[in-house]
Amino acid sequence: MIEILEPGPLATVQDLGRPGFAALGVPRSGAFDRAALRLANRLVGNSDDAAAIEVTLGGLEIRLTAAATIALTGAPCPGAPDWGRAVSIPAGASVRLAMPPSGLRSYLAVRGGVGAAPVLGSRSTDTLSGLGPDPLRRGDVLAIGRGAGEVSGAGALGSPAGDAILPIRFGPREDWFTAAARASLVGAAWIVRPESDRVGIRLDGPRLARAQDGELPSEPVLPGAVQVPSDGRPILFGPDAPVTGGYPVIAVVTGLDRAAQLRPGDPVRFSSGRG
Amino acid sequence: MRLLPYGDEALLAEPEDPATVLALVAALRDEPGVREVVPAARTLLVRAAAGDLARVGARLRELATTAGAGACPPDGPQVTLDVHYDGLDLDETAAQVGLEPDGLVRAHTAGSYVVAFCGFTPGFAYLTGLDAALHVPRLAQPRTRVPAGSVGIAGEFTGVYPRSSPGGWRLLGRTDADLWDLARTPPALLAPGTRVRFRSA
């Protein structure tokens, strides 16, 4: 069992989410940094879709009631065991993650996987819909699943260091914006606003002006969509994004893992690959 | 039909006739390579592997020419919801559309509705088929809490709040029906394509 001594600002159970239910109004959810989750699972011999703990800005402290093998990936936190490899923890020992100097989300996988009750095939906490387990609280106890493959050696860590440049593809509603707005999207250095969360990363920068007025009837939305509300400040949707939205999506980010590590105040750029 | 890019692994289709959205969704569901199809008010989103997108797009264009002809919604299950028409906005909304409250209830129960799409919260269905005389804008100030089972109207849609949440629809009444039940398959009582009638309880 895993006892939660301190959850930190936000710790949730996450696997690869529950894709396939958007037509019923269910967000995909799942780990924000999916590469980091996969790596943590592989390190301890779990399947890619096993559930782990997603830790936001460190602060997590756990105690293991029995000896266990864990792996930590994502934003490295001081004070924790080795990052990026399987580590054996003796029974009764605790693990504490301090605040990471950079990056935002860390993943703690345990050999066997975190055993919460699945909802629509996933153990992920959906912070928008309230599906899946509640965010972790002090005193919570998580079961550990059984059955895992071979523990693997150290993995290549995707480091959140360096400037964040997120690849985008313009559309579906780029024509709702002026040419200047489209140029600003890829030309500007955007700053992550504090109101960002698993639903969306809210950005500050030049206001993106519309080329046409009016309202868009509700359209399907996916994680990665860059939606621009009427105030002209873009929101990059995360895993817990709603399944429909009424504001135009100017572009879609084609990989969210790096975005998962953006914290308030961080700069971020978009790159379209267009000349 | 317009096909719009949506990242590397999806595309957004905008058929000329929005009434064909559900027929296209149904036709695409078993198409090889299609991972998910999500309808909305005028568009549908299709998820597929990057390598399958071009073929799926071509298939969509093909289907649009045939599905466009009939434009009738596919035969979904039929659900009748018993409603207590005692909603907070019943009197005011009736006055707004020039009816007595009883007349508004008659107009609402006379309609045959179809779930066009879900959104907002799990199991929240947007039902089309609302009498055009009943199209009224949502509340200027949304309520912070609307009780589960509340039946409302907003714009061209009517719908039921599956659980307590904030909301800006005009509330006509409430139903005891269980709109969202994880023990059921699918958990949503009102999934896209489901045909719905309201009955005064």
pLDDT, average across residues A219-228: 97
Strand pairing report for A68-74 and A105-110: antiparallel
Which among A49, A59, A46 has a CA at the least distance from the CA of A11? A59
Please provide the average confidence, as pLDDT, over all residues in chain A.
Answer: 94
Tell me if chain A has a CB within 8 Å of the CB of B188: yes
Q: Which chain B residue is nearest to residue A175, measuring alpha carbons?
A: B4
Contact (Cβ atoms closer than 8 angstroms) between residue A53 and residue A107: yes
Contact A209, A184 (CB under 8 A): no
Comparison of pLDDT for B92 and A80, the residue scoring more:
B92
Please name the residue of chain B whose CA is at the shortest distance from the CA of residue A128: B121
B122/A contact by beta carbon, under 8 A: yes
For residue B148, give every residue at least 6 positions away whose Cβ sits within 8 Å of its Cβ, in sequence order, or none. Answer: B161, B162, B163, B164, B179
Q: How far apart are CA A27 and CA B52, in angstroms?
A: 23
Confidence (pLDDT) at A76:
94
> CB–CB of B42 and A219 under 8 A?
yes
Give A60→chain B minimum CA distance, Å.
30
Element (H, E) at B14: strand B10-14
Cα(B37)–Cα(A250) distance, rounded to whole angstroms? 21
Distance from CA of B14 to the nearest CA of A (A): 10
Q: Which range has the worst mean pLDDT, A30-39, A148-157, B81-90, B133-142?
A: A148-157
Confidence of residue B92 (pLDDT cuts 50, 70, 90): very high
* pLDDT score at A151: 78
What angle in degrees, to the nearest 10, is found between the helix axes of B21-28 and B53-70?
Answer: 130
Chain A positions touching chain B (beta carbons under 8 Å): 19-26, 119-120, 129, 131, 169-173, 217-220, 222, 224-225, 242-244, 249, 252-254
From B140's Cα to the closest Cα of chain A, the distance in A is 16
pLDDT at A275: 44
In chain A the first and final C-alpha atoms are separated, in Å, by 53
**Dihedral angle sign, alpha carbons of residues B67, B129, A21, B43:** positive
pLDDT at A101: 94
If we measure between CA atoms, which residue out of B188, B181, B68, B178 comes closest to residue B127?
A: B188
- The minimal CB distance from B187 to the residues A24, A218, A252 is found for A24
- Looking at residue A92, its pLDDT comes to 97
Compute the distance between CA of residue A72 and CA of residue A52 in angstroms, rounded to an integer: 10
| Of A158 and B128, more confident | B128
* Calpha distance B68→A44 (Å, rounded): 52
pLDDT by residue (tens digit) across B30-89? 899 999 999 999 999 999 999 999 999 999 999 988 865 454 556 789 999 999 999 999
Torsional sign, CA A99, A204, B11, B121: positive
For CA atoms A11, A200, A84, A110, the dihedral sign is positive
ipTM surpassing 0.90, yes or no? yes
Rounded to a whole number of angstroms, the distance from the CA of B68 to the nearest CA of chain A is 20
Closest alpha carbon within chain A to B190:
A24
Between these two residues, A151 and B15, which has the higher pLDDT value? B15
Least confident of A51-60, A266-275, B108-117: A266-275
Sheet holding B34-39: strands in order across? Answer: B2-5, B10-14, B44-48, B34-39
Q: Is B165 on the interface with A (CB under 8 A)?
A: no
Q: How distant is the alpha carbon of residue A11 from its chain centre?
A: 11
pLDDT in tens, B141-191: 889 999 999 999 999 999 999 999 999 999 999 999 999 999 999 999 999
- CA of A217: which chain B residue's CA is closest? B41
d(CA B129, CA B108): 10
Which of B10, B182, B188 comes nearest A25 by C-beta?
Answer: B188
Check: CB of residue B167 under 8 Å from CB of residue B142: yes
Measure CA A8 to chain center. Answer: 16
Most distant pair of Cα atoms in chain A: their distance: 62
Interface test with B, best of A176, A243, A247, A253 (most B CBs within 10 A): A243
- ∠ CA A222-A223-A225 to the nearest 5 degrees? 75
B25 inside 8 A of chain A by CB:
yes
What's the whole-model pTM score?
A: 0.94
Alpha-carbon gap, residue A256 to A29, rounded angstroms: 12
Question: A25, B120: Cβ pair inside 8 Å?
Answer: yes
